[in-house]
Amino acid sequence: MTTIFRWNKMQRRRFFKAILPALLLLITTLYGIALPVRAHGYIVRSIPEDRATLERPPTRLQYWFSEALEPSFSSINLRDETGQIIMTGGVDDNDSSLLALQIPPGLLSAGSYIVELRPAFASDGHVVAESRVFFVGDAAANLEGSAASDLPLTLEIIWKALLDAGAYLLFGAFTVYAWVLIPAWGSNKYPIGNLPPRLMRRLEHIVAIGFALTIGANILALIQQSMVFFNADAGRVIRDGLWQVVRVGSRFGDMWNARMLFLIVAIGLLLLSRAYRDAAPALTRSMWRGNAWLIALIIGTQAINSHAAGSLILPWLGMIMHWLHTLGVAFWIGGVLVLVAVLPVALKPYDGAQRQAALQAVMRHFSRLLVAAVMIVVVSGIYNSSNWFLSPDTVASTYGVAMGAKLVMVALLLLMGALHHIALRPQLLERFSFLRRGVDWAGSFGSSMRIEALVAVVALASAAALSSTPTPQPDFLQNEVVTPQATQTIDDLTVTMTISPGGPGVNTVDIVLQRGETPLNNAEVDVQVSSPSRAIRGDWQEADPLDAGLYVAASDIIDRAGEWWSVLNITLSNGESYRVAFSWQISADAAVIQSRPPTPLTWTAIVLVTLTLLVLLVPPIRDYAAKNMEFSAQNVLIGVGVTAISIVALIIGVVIMVQQMQQLEESRNPRPDYVNTQLPTQESLVRGQAQYEQHCIAWLNSSDFPVLLRQVESFRDDALYLITLEGWRNVPPCDEALTDDERWDVVNYLRTLQPKR
């Protein structure tokens, strides 16, 4: 004989009182033991490195971050060891993830310096403050930078929790209405909404609360974000209208505007349906269904302003997964809260078997959809986690601990959901008999639903805290890479060139000209970057003069690791001209990491998400097809054949396209048969001129030689080498006595003979 355990009213009350403090204590404990790490986005490359000791003052400070920055609200200050601000910079014009500051030569002397960073991340609006130090000459051991605070802002947690609560209530109300209550209890005898008036009134009250929470939280969010961007209090933000600047001048403001627009449209639809409820009662049902999609878009705007937008691994996919995850959570938590508020009113007129039947009908529909939502939440959560936990150490970070707190709440919700699911399907007790007592308690759907709602609220707060918690910094960013820098002296002219960061991608070039200790201004400096092994040469680019002998340029021609040359043509204000050339070994390790390939965990999560969506979508698609399509053997064969042919054709098309692109690239820039071995320095030009005048003098008598000079920039180095070897049109070859190196010197000199335009 089986004894059925049932809790009486007093036992349920004691359980309710005991679980709330326990949950709060658990959350407090988990967050209390969080380990400090960097906050939000992080530095992926810095020049100079923190606490670097430099032989000479730098010409540029550069700090690349893992995410794009808001230019209007990000800054970099350089202070001396007394705290006095020397210079101020901001976001680079060509790279939104770079904080940069130009330093004129001669401004800094030996000593200690503090770099004060205040980046505002465009993805989630977070602003952090930290400082780094560097030394010119001897290091000062007593000077330290300050790390960014890893503590989430309380006001941010509050508005995010309120915003989530409002959006989840709205999404839960509209989806539960459309997908649960209407299928379970809908009836045409209730023309307005197809549900009893008392039930519609309760839903309207829930929706009103949801809109009030969402709008209020959105306003609070804008004020708090403005306070952070401007480092000001709420009074100044409101009084000086700083919130307007944020609203129209940031990505956060763009999403805020979109969210408010969707809210206004959603409220307008409800008001419209209410105004015409008597004349067009069917409009109510349509508007309530439509609002579910509008609230889904509102939740989508939060995904764009989330950590996912700053992921190094497929950020666009991360935002989609975050959106799917949040939608699943919104239906789960919002649905539970809505049912807890709706069921007492809905079931009030019923008792006994009638009440149980009505309850079972609703809970079966909700449970079926909840299983799908939980599947999406779990697999998308795995994907989202794969973006941040890239090494074992990151699990112990603040973000890892915060994630653990959220997982505890999710586990409790899963347990409560499992008990309710089994209670609706008694046959499952044969496999889960150890849960009988819990199932019997949950089967009443009274106190168990209220407990689940309480856990859901705590989980919601935990999720808000998680979104405000720093993401862990990957350990692969800890490697220090030396920035390429070289100095040459010709006569009394000293030329110092720096390539930053010195890896494949966009690089900035700093050139400092000095004669003795005197910086040289008003010079013309032209820069050309080339790859001798691939015979690729960039266009000549004029470096912009700044101050105190500093000239700067930027280029993206360096696209891979290996040997690269940079050539400078320098013309001073007195008419003197110089040729300076540098050879660089570009390392892939020096590249700024702006993206990472998916990890095995990422691919596993993608497969899981895909399979889950297939499991959820195939049955309804199959049912629709069964009702609306004819599945004869002939039609099936044709359909399978067309599908197979389409897939094969698509694969073949992709392969052909890739091959054609490779062939096009090879045809545009085939590998040279001859590789230039002589760096085009001033010495090479002098040697080349001597060899040209001695062994290629016959060129001057050729009528095609002027044509060659006009077109010399369109020829690759290997083509010019062949001209010295075999001739071109009626331009004869140079003497056979020339060695390979001498021919390359002639090629380098030949390029200087092109007429000026």
Q: Which of 241-255, 346-360, 427-441, 638-652 has the lowest mean pLDDT?
A: 427-441
Cβ atoms of 134 and 450 within 8 Å: the answer is: no
Report pLDDT digits (tens) over 577-617. 899 999 999 888 877 776 777 878 788 888 888 888 787 77
pLDDT of residue 446: 64
Say whether both 297 and 279 belong to one domain: yes
Where does a domain end: 149, 179, 199?
A: 149
Retrieve residue 300's tokens: 């989508």
- Which of 442, 467, 492 is a domain's end point? 467
Question: Radius of gyration over alpha carbons of the chain, in Å?
Answer: 35
How many CB atoms are closer than 10 A to CB 184?
19
Cα of first residue to Cα of last residue in the chain, in angstroms, is: 104
Range of the domain at 135: 38-149
Looking at the structure, tell me whether residues 55 and 119 fall in a common domain. Answer: yes
Q: What pLDDT, on the 0 to 100 scale, is given for residue 477?
A: 62
Please check the confidence at residue 730 and state whether its pLDDT lies above 50. Answer: yes
Choosing from 438, 467, 496, the residue where a domain stops is 467
Residues 325 and 458 in one domain: yes
User: CA-CA distance, 54 to 109, in Å (whole number)?
Assistant: 11
Co-location of 143 and 162 in the same domain: no
Work out the angle at residue 449's Cα, subtended by the Cα atoms of residues 448 and 450, and round it to the nearest 5 degrees. Answer: 90
Q: Are residues 231 and 377 in the same domain?
A: yes
Residue 206 sits in the same domain as residue 230: yes
Averaged pLDDT, 432-442: 63
Task: With cut-offs at 50, 70 and 90, classify the pLDDT of residue 734.
Answer: very high
**pLDDT band with cut points at 50, 70 and 90 for residue 676:** very high
- Name the token pair of 440: 């019997």
pLDDT, mean of residues 134-152: 65
How is residue 555 written in tokens? 């280029």
Indicate whether 19 and 55 sit together in one domain: no
pLDDT class of 550 with cuts at 50, 70, 90: confident
What is the rounded distance in angstroms from the CA atom of residue 131 to the CA atom of residue 80? 12
Specify the CATH number for the domain of residue 687: 1.10.760
For residue 342, pLDDT beyond 90: no
Q: How far is residue 184 CA from its own chain's centroid?
A: 42
Cβ proximity of 406 and 220 under 8 Å: no
Tell whether 435 is covered by a domain.
Answer: yes
In our burial notation (b when 16+ CB lie closer than 10 A, e otherwise), range 333-371 reads: bbbbbbbbbbbeebbeeeeeeeeeebbbebbbbbbebbe
Task: Domain count for the chain, please give it.
Answer: 3
Over the stretch 238-280, which tens digit does the pLDDT of each residue have?
Answer: 988 888 888 887 888 888 898 899 999 999 988 988 888 888 8
Angle value at C-alpha 480, between 311 and 554, nearest 5 degrees: 70
* Closest C-alpha to 415, from 463, 387, 448: 448
pLDDT in tens, 153-206: 778 888 888 898 899 999 999 999 999 898 888 888 888 888 888 898 999 999
| Largest CA-CA distance found in the chain, in angstroms, rounded | 117
**Residue partners of 613: CB distance under 8 A and separation at least 6:** 376
Is 539 a member of any domain? Answer: no
195 and 264 share one domain: yes
Share above pLDDT 70 across residues of the chain, in percent, rounded to a whole number: 79
For position 43, which CATH number holds? Answer: 2.60.40.1220
Indicate the average pLDDT of the chain: 79
Q: Return the percentage of the chain with pLDDT > 90, whole number.
A: 16
pLDDT at 17: 45
The one-letter amino acid at 262: F
Same domain, 160 and 47: no
pLDDT value at residue 469: 67
d(CA 528, CA 174): 62
486 DSSP β-pair partners: 497
- What's the one-letter identity of residue 746? V
Phi and psi angles of residue 618, each rounded to the nearest 5 degrees, phi first: -60, -45
Query: pTM above 0.75?
Result: no
Residue 39 has pLDDT above 60, yes or no: no
